Amino acid sequence: MYTICKLLYVTVFALLSAAPPYLPLYYDAVLGFSSDQIGFVLAIAPFVQSVACPLWTFLVDKRPHLHGSVMALTSFLGGISLLGIMGLGHSIRTTSVVLNDTTVVICTSALAFAFAFFTLPNTSLVDSAVMKILGPDKLLYGEQRLWGSLSTGLTILLVGQLISYTGNLDALFWVFGGSTLAFVVCAAVANVNSNDIVLPLEDLETEYAQQPLMSPSNQSMEKYGHRAPANYLSTTHAASSLRPHEQFKGHDPLIFKAASIVSAHTVREEAEEALDVVGVDLGLAISRISSVDQSLMLAPDAEVPPADVFKSPRVLCFLTTTLIFGVVLSMIVNFLFLFLSREMHTPASWIGWTGPMSGVTELLCFCFSKQMTEKFGVTKMVVIAHVATLIRCLAYTVLVPDSLITNIIALLLQMLHGIGFGIFWATAVSEIDSFFPPEQRAVAQGILGALHAGLGTGLGAFIGGYLLEYCGSVWLFRVAALLTLISTVIFCVGRLKRYNF
């Protein structure tokens, strides 16, 4: 089920795991960059991505029929750009032309710029495509996204083993090239259509005037040129129990309420789908659903009305947390391989195993994200992700180089990355999606990607490179731990009851 969603995640995370994690090693060993130069080049891509993500997601929102084509074209152009870095490395090693450091940095930065502008937004484009394809089954997002985690782990392992076996860092570019071609094919054939289809009120009133409310049929839907939404039949019987004046009242939309609804969150989603057509105020419509327990409107994870989304301290704190946590993960991820290789003297074959170690925990977190969120709630899930990251940062500061125990501990600590990132991202995608109306949810994913994987990653690369070059790895991880603590406090402040709506 939803095979194309799984393939999109497998291929996009394969290409993003083949080259970017190992690029710092390539910049250090082949291009001869210092840590601050590496940080500068790595920071360019996320900053560009913070602009490119909203741009491309806005385009596919306006031209949804081009969603798959845009993903394919941008990935192809970005892939050519990154392979240019390999060509630059070959020029330095095999030709008699001598390039000064400034020229090499400028050329590498230009290629990294193009790669970021075209390829990196595809994570948000795939997220939005999957959410559209899933439609009312969007809670299955974690089950689709876990295939990306599996792909990430196996790809990092494959590249690490190939580098160790061949002794050539070019292996990362060949795996990247093959993964890019696979993603281009999957994106080109993907049929990205939203399943959240809602009939106008006039059509629904006409339909129910012609047929009994207890037994609607999809044939009547088809005469209007629409396919019945996936949750249409499941909500019909619950709707039939409403009193007549609740079924149609003035020109308000007809809102179906499933019998299994246990929170206002689900009712709001159904209301959004119906109100999307007629433009009625969401808060007004919700207040007219008499069967909803009013106490549920104060639930900790209730949505903020779309019109006030950026005015809410709850939302602003969540977005700030997304940014800071992106900075922290960037500081760790971008320089972890350099730290292990240069300071801990960990072999490439061992470094490659960090992929599967984090992939296993990521896979489990994404697989059970729905169940965990339902049991613990968004607040506890995000706090757990921060605690796991805090422990990881502090543990790196006490590792001893040239030790088998250190190599083993480094692999075990990588499992905390799967917990920290996996839990946070699965929760964040669903949470940010709930803040926006259906027609703006691709933009919502673009904002999430711009803050976390764009601006946050860029700042993390820049700050991490400076700290590693001038203060050392211990201070790099100490600062990351401090930022993690600050991020946790800001998030918890935003979840106070006074900010719930």
User: Regarding the domain delimited by 3-195+308-499, which CATH topology (the fold level of the hierarchy) does it fall under?
Assistant: Growth Hormone; Chain: A; (1.20.1250)
Residue type, 355: G
Give the alpha-carbon dihedral of 118, 122, 128, 133, to 10 degrees.
Answer: 120
Q: How many CB atoms lie within 10 A of CB 63?
A: 11
pLDDT given at position 449: 75
Residue-by-residue DSSP string for 381-393? HHHHHHHHHHHHH
Q: Report CA-CA distances (Å) from 263 to 267, 293, 368, 431, 446.
A: 7, 8, 20, 15, 27
Structure tokens given for 248: 């149609």
pLDDT given at position 13: 92
162 contacts 175 by C-beta, under 8 angstroms: yes
Residue pLDDT, tens place only, 309-352: 667 788 888 889 999 999 999 999 999 999 999 899 999 889 98
Residue appearing with tokens 């673009």? 446
Structure tokens given for 246: 């609740």
Residue appearing with tokens 């803040």? 435
Average pLDDT of the chain, as a whole number: 76
462 contacts 39 by C-beta, under 8 angstroms: yes
pLDDT given at position 26: 92
Identify the band that residue 89 occupies on the pLDDT scale cut at 50, 70 and 90: confident
Residue pLDDT, tens place only, 167-220: 888 999 999 999 999 999 999 988 876 554 444 444 444 444 444 444 444 443
Residue 238 pLDDT > 80, yes or no? no
pLDDT given at position 222: 41
Residue 75 pLDDT > 60, yes or no? yes
Alpha helices (H) in 167-199, listed in sequence order = 171-189
Residue pLDDT, tens place only, 268-314: 344 344 334 334 333 322 222 222 222 223 333 434 444 466 677 88
Q: Report CA-CA distances (Å) from 237 to 214, 215, 219.
A: 7, 8, 18
Residue appearing with tokens 């903020």? 304
Dist CA 445 CA 240 (whole Å):
35
pLDDT given at position 49: 76
Q: How many residues does the chain have?
A: 501
Dist CA 296 CA 458 (whole Å):
39
Q: Report CA-CA distances (Å) from 209 to 201, 216, 243, 250, 255.
A: 12, 11, 15, 15, 16
pLDDT given at position 14: 93
Kindly provide the b/e burial profile for residues 353-389, where b requires at least 16 CB atoms within 10 angstroms of the residue's own CB: bbbbbbbbbbbbbbbbbbebbeeeebebbbbbbbbbb
Identify the band that residue 63 occupies on the pLDDT scale cut at 50, 70 and 90: confident
Dist CA 498 CA 313 (whole Å):
10
Residue 95 pLDDT > 50, yes or no? yes
* DSSP character at residue 224: T
Lowest average pLDDT, out of 21-35, 349-363, 483-497, goes to: 349-363
Residue type, 399: L
Structure tokens given for 354: 């960090």
pLDDT given at position 194: 55
Higher pLDDT, 311 or 488: 488
Tell me phi and psi for residue 241, to 5 degrees.
Answer: -85, -10
Tell me phi and psi for residue 304, to 5 degrees.
Answer: -95, 135
> How far is residue 398 CA from its own chain's centroid?
31
Alpha helices (H) in 279-403, listed in sequence order = 282-287, 313-338, 348-352, 354-367, 369-396
Dist CA 66 CA 146 (whole Å):
26
Dist CA 66 CA 2 (whole Å):
20
102 contacts 397 by C-beta, under 8 angstroms: no
pLDDT given at position 256: 29
Closest CA to 36 of 399, 392, 334, 368: 334
Dist CA 408 CA 440 (whole Å):
45
pLDDT given at position 102: 82
Residue pLDDT, tens place only, 25-52: 999 988 889 899 999 999 888 788 778 8
Helices (H) and strands (E) in the chain, counts: 22, 0
Greatest alpha-carbon span in the chain: 85
Residue pLDDT, tens place only, 140-161: 777 787 788 788 878 988 999 9
Mean pLDDT of 423-437: 81
Own/partner contacts of 266-271, CB < 8 Å, gap of 24 or more, are 267/292, 268/302, 268/303, 268/434, 269/434, 270/231, 270/235
What are the boundaries of each domain within the chain?
3-195+308-499, 201-229+243-290
Residue appearing with tokens 């601050």? 36
3-state secondary structure of 260: coil
Single pTM value for the model:
0.65
pLDDT given at position 107: 92
